[in-house]
Chain A
């Protein structure tokens, strides 16, 4: 409220949608200008038009759809497995302090090793095929989902739990009717983080050990010195990640309709 007392500079009022695209558009303009005036050699920073053309080529010859499809499938599989296990473990630890006592130290140590740090070990264990990618992505999603689910369940107000006790709710009823609905917002935050981490891990693992997928497209572009292809792949990775996050946000607000209206 105090901020409102400070006279705001007389910016023209703009809808948030416009503000959101202003900065990216500015960057794009700067990029075009730098390409036009040759501030960077074109081998290092190709112009936006070249990147656009490369993307169109990739789209036309089917490389884009094929590699995107492979990446999406991997992320869906890994994220589903990792977040499912994360939900289970988070709920188990959230409901039972004893389980937390047993599992939490190991889990923390496990989580402290970065996702990328698991790749060499997993390569020895399962090779460099699909299981490696799925495991790495699952691990990336598993950690934030577990932690946020645990925190969410612990933060359920005891006054709600007491209402359940008053009406003689069983453990299952308490979980279904009180604990899970109350913990939905933090659990969803965990799922959103988990999906972002899963997507990042996917690109990383494809960079290191893959012959297809969007991450591979990146490496391939760099190795061939097709920097327009490489940057095109980066753009697609960014757009897909952004879209994932938006989808999760929409589901989240649907699940919490009671907060709005």
Chain B
């Protein structure tokens, strides 16, 4: 069986209307993500990176172009695409275990299988012993772990992460980055992580996508060839970080480069680098 989780974003555009005038949130975005790839997306605020994740999740279907996962066009949310939001979004009236179990409500599992999946994923994110805690009893990092467990509990082929570590302190953040990496390796799933932290993007990603705002589009894509486990302080990684940072800064300084051709909007090139393993 071919590995699942091959995601194709095919000329996706999206407009909002802001007080009558159309605002181009995404403009002809092309991207191909290989099964099992860890892709990170950085960009200035307003570049549409969160919107892109919402479109892939199927939460927002009013857009042009196609989002295709394993040959199927995305038209609605699916249990095969998990999403972890910027804030944990746990239901405060449910315990950790109940919150995670909510993800399985429509998974068609029996009670025993459901309970097993819930406790497995609580252990996976390192929340063992906190099954019966209520969200207000958790720290920010623990709540986000619970949210990640909920995102993973259906064993989705693709996990979308919308700046899930943005609100955490540096130490918790670094620890959860390693946890994410470990989970990604263990589950073998495709992960898309949106972040505003370039260091995080370079540390975690197989590729780093830099997006530019107004209109939201892909400005550059960087390969991160460094083998894992990676060393945060390695000079090679730091060099790449500086390159990504420079590309990111270029997206916000100066007039918007309207006619710019960028490599990732040429699908042929993207395909060349990342052939889906079929």
Interface residues, chain A, CB within 8 Å of chain B?
159-160, 162-163, 165-170, 173, 177-178, 181-182, 184, 256, 258-259, 261
The stretch among B83-91, B192-200, B216-224, B254-262 that forms the contact with chain A is: B83-91
Taken residue by residue from 74 to 97, chain B's Cβ proximity to chain A (1 for < 8 Å, 0 otherwise) reads as 001111000101010101111000
Residues on B with beta carbons closer than 8 Å to the beta carbon of A261? 134, 137
1/0 per position for B105-149, CB-CB distance to A under 8 A? 110000000000000000000000000001011000000000000
The interface residues of chain B lying within 8 Å CB-to-CB of A181 are 91, 93-94
**22 A-B Cβ contacts within 8 A?**
A159-B85, A160-B91, A162-B59, A163-B89, A166-B59, A167-B102, A167-B103, A167-B105, A167-B154, A168-B77, A169-B105, A177-B91, A177-B105, A178-B91, A181-B91, A181-B93, A181-B94, A182-B93, A258-B92, A258-B93, A258-B136, A261-B134
How extensive is the interface on chain B, given as a class? 20 to 34
Q: B57 CB to closest chain A CB, in angstroms? A: 6
CB distance from A81 to the nearest CB of B (A): 28
Min Cβ gap A183→B in Å is 11
Whether B79 pairs with A168 at a CB distance below 8 angstroms is yes
Is A258 a contact partner of B89 (Cβ separation < 8 A)?
no
List residues of B whose CB falls within 8 A of some A CB: 57, 59, 76-79, 83, 85, 87, 89, 91-94, 102-103, 105-106, 134, 136-137, 154
Residue of A nearest to B92 (CB): A258
What residues of chain A lie closer than 8 Å to B103, measured between beta carbons? 167
Task: Name 12 extra pairs, CB < 8 A, besides A159-B89, A163-B89, A261-B134.
Answer: A160-B91, A162-B89, A163-B102, A165-B77, A166-B83, A167-B102, A167-B105, A168-B77, A168-B106, A173-B105, A177-B105, A184-B93
Instruction: Give the shortest distance, in Å, between A22 (CB) and chain B (any CB).
Output: 34
Q: What is the bound-complex CA distance between A173 and B162, given in angstroms?
A: 25
A177 to B79: give the CA distance in the assembly, Å.
17
Q: Contact check, B79 vs A167: say whether CB atoms are below 8 A apart.
A: yes
User: Which of A162, A181, A182, A256 is most buried by chain B, counting CB atoms within 10 A of its CB?
Assistant: A162
Residues from chain B with Cβ under 8 Å of A169 in the complex: 105-106
B77 / chain A contacts, CB cutoff of 8 Å:
165-168
User: Considering the chains assembled together, what is the distance between the CA atoms of A182 and B94 in angstroms?
Assistant: 11
Contacts of B137 in A (CB 8 A): 261
Known contacts A159-B85, A261-B137: does B59 contact A167 (CB below 8 Å)?
no
Instruction: Kindly list chain B residues whose C-beta atoms are within 8 Å of the C-beta of A256.
Output: 93
Interface centre among B59, B91, B154 (most CB of A within 10 A): B91
Cα A178 to Cα B103 in complex, Å, equals: 12
CA distance A165 to B103 in the complex (A): 11
**In the complex, what residues of A have CB within 8 A of residue B93's CB?**
181-182, 184, 256, 258
Contact A259 B105 (CB under 8 A): no
Q: Which of A159, A170, A258, A261 has the most CB of B within 10 A?
A: A258
4 residue pairs, one from A and one from B, having the closest CB atoms:
A258-B93, A181-B93, A258-B134, A166-B77
In the complex, chain B residues whose CB is within 8 Å of the CB of A168? 76-79, 106
Report the separation of the CA atoms of residues A160 and B99 in the bound assembly, to the nearest whole angstrom.
12
Q: Please indicate the chain B residues that have their CB under 8 angstroms from the CB of A166 in the complex.
A: 57, 59, 77, 83
B154 contact set on A, CB distance < 8 A: 167
Within the complex, what minimum Cβ distance (angstroms) separates A260 from chain B?
A: 9
A167 & B106 in contact (Cβ 8 Å cutoff): yes
Residues of A within 8 A of B94 (CB): 181, 258
**Complex: how many Å from CA A57 to CA B154?**
69
How close is B142's CB to chain A, nearest CB, in angstroms?
16
CA distance A17 to B181 in the complex (A): 55
> How far is it, in angstroms, between the C-alpha of A168 and the C-alpha of B92 when the chains are bound?
20
The complex places the Cα of A166 from the Cα of B59 at a distance, in Å, of 7
Q: Hey, which chain A residues are within 8 Å of B102, CB to CB? A: 163, 167, 177
CA–CA, A86 and B234, complex, Å: 65
Q: Is the CB of A259 within 8 A of B92?
A: yes
**Chain A residue with the shortest CB-CB distance to B85:** A159
CB distance from A197 to the nearest CB of B (A): 27
Q: How far is the CA of A258 from the CA of B138 in the complex (A)?
A: 12
- Rounded to whole angstroms, the CA-CA distance of A182 and B59 in the bound complex is 21
Complex CA gap A60/B189 in Å reads 78
Chain A residues closer than 8 Å to B85, beta-carbon distance: 159, 163
CB-based nearest A residue for B78: A168
Nearest CB in chain B: distance from A158 CB, A:
11
**Roughly how many angstroms separate A177 CA and B91 CA in the complex, as a whole number?**
9
Min CB–CB distance B114 → chain A (angstroms)? 13
Residues of B within 8 A of A173 (CB): 105-106
Interface centre among A167, A168, A256, A259 (most CB of B within 10 A): A167
| A166 nearest in chain B by CB position | B77
| Measured CA separation A256–B78 after assembly (Å) | 32
A166 vs B57: C-alpha distance when bound (angstroms): 8
Shortest distance between the CB of B117 and any CB in chain A (Å): 14
Nearest-Cβ distance from residue B259 to partner chain A, whole angstroms: 36
